[in-house]
Amino acid sequence: MASSSFRRTDGSPKTVIVTGGAGGIGAQTIRTYHEKGCNVVIADLPFAREAAEGIISTLSGPNRALFQPTNIVDWTDLKLLYKTAIKEFGQVDIVIANAGIMESKGFFEFEEDENGELKEPVEAYRVIDINLKGTMNNADGARGSIILIASTSGYFGGTGVVSYISSKHGVVGLCRSSQRVANQYKIRVNVVAPFFTPTYITGGYSDAWKERGLPANTVEDVATAIVQTSIDSQYKGHSVMVAGKIVREIEAARTALTTQWLGCEIAQVMADGGKFFDDMNGYTLPKARG
């Protein structure tokens, strides 16, 4: 019998959408939710159909799973994803915004066109679009519990992977800035930030990492943290870092250290400013120009 955490109040299974669900962390997250008795929706690009259908064929109840081809930066695709999930399973209860990519060449590897002029960094924009815009699309459309997949790169940036790191910092900012509205609509938005996990995007250095004897996640480690964070009603605006077998909540810890970090005077200024916007019920937005 599935835990009540994975069932609606009427006793029916909860429905979970996982973007980028046909491989790596996403695929294991699909398996874990399904094992808990949930309906699962694999949202991934059309080329992932065979992989997604392969996953579904291994599940004990394939009638509780479906694949929906989805480009997360395409609003029409996103609307169809949610419409399909709701038509099949009644409602969407949990969304895991997991889909993401890493650039295949460095941001500062400048290229010139035939006229000797600098080329636009199109690939860098694509990383930002998928990792941040695509995540924002899911945060905008979902109801219930939302997990945004960031990375330790959402807090640290020393590896020099400019577009990926920038996008993951953006995901952390998305979670922080969403809390007022999330509380208003009784939605829980949290982050899971995995440390190094052997997947497709880390394939270029996974063997060397292992040879160095450094700790690594498994996809099972990360999937377990995602599932637990999504159902823990105490988590609202939290960030759970997964580093091997070590799982730590880091957002509340960062907040608690604000005074030590900034000093008493600046911390008080920031607190007073925060209270001002609380009293104003949020930021007063400027009028659009032009």
Do residues 247 and 223 touch, judged by C-beta distance below 8 A? Answer: no
Same domain, 155 and 290: no
Same domain, 187 and 94: yes
Provide CB contacts within 8 A for 192, sequence distance 6+. Answer: 147, 148, 149, 150, 222, 225, 226, 229, 239, 240, 242
**Residue type at 202 in one-letter notation:** T
pTM, two decimals, is 0.93
Same domain, 164 and 279: no
Same domain, 50 and 180: yes
Same domain, 10 and 119: yes
CATH number of 150's domain: 3.40.50.720
Question: Which H, E and C letters describe 71-121, residue by residue?
Answer: CCCCHHHHHHHHHHHHHHHCCCCEEEECCCCCCCCCCCCCCECCCCCECCC
Same domain, 238 and 265: no
Q: Tell me which of 33, 82, 164, 235 is the catalytic residue.
A: 164
- Give the C-alpha separation, 139 to 47, whole Å: 24
Domain of residue 42: give its range: 4-251
pLDDT at 256 > cutoff 50 = yes
Report pLDDT for 2.
60
The stretch 208-212 carries a mean pLDDT of 86
Same domain, 169 and 42: yes
pLDDT at 147 > cutoff 70 = yes
Same domain, 261 and 200: no
Same domain, 213 and 178: yes
Report the domain count for the chain. 2
Report pLDDT for 1.
46
The stretch 250-254 carries a mean pLDDT of 92
Mean pLDDT rounded to a whole number for the chain: 92
More confident call, 205 vs 165: 165
- Tens-digit pLDDT profile for residues 83-131: 999 999 999 999 999 999 999 888 889 999 999 999 999 999 999 999 9
Q: Please state, for a pLDDT cut of 90, what percent of the chain lies above it.
A: 80
Residue 142 — very low, low, confident or very high, per pLDDT cuts 50/70/90? low
pLDDT at 3 > cutoff 80 = no
Residue 73 — very low, low, confident or very high, per pLDDT cuts 50/70/90? very high
Q: Reply yes or no on whether 164 is catalytic.
A: yes
Same domain, 100 and 64: yes
Same domain, 26 and 123: yes
3-state secondary structure of 136: helix
Same domain, 170 and 277: no
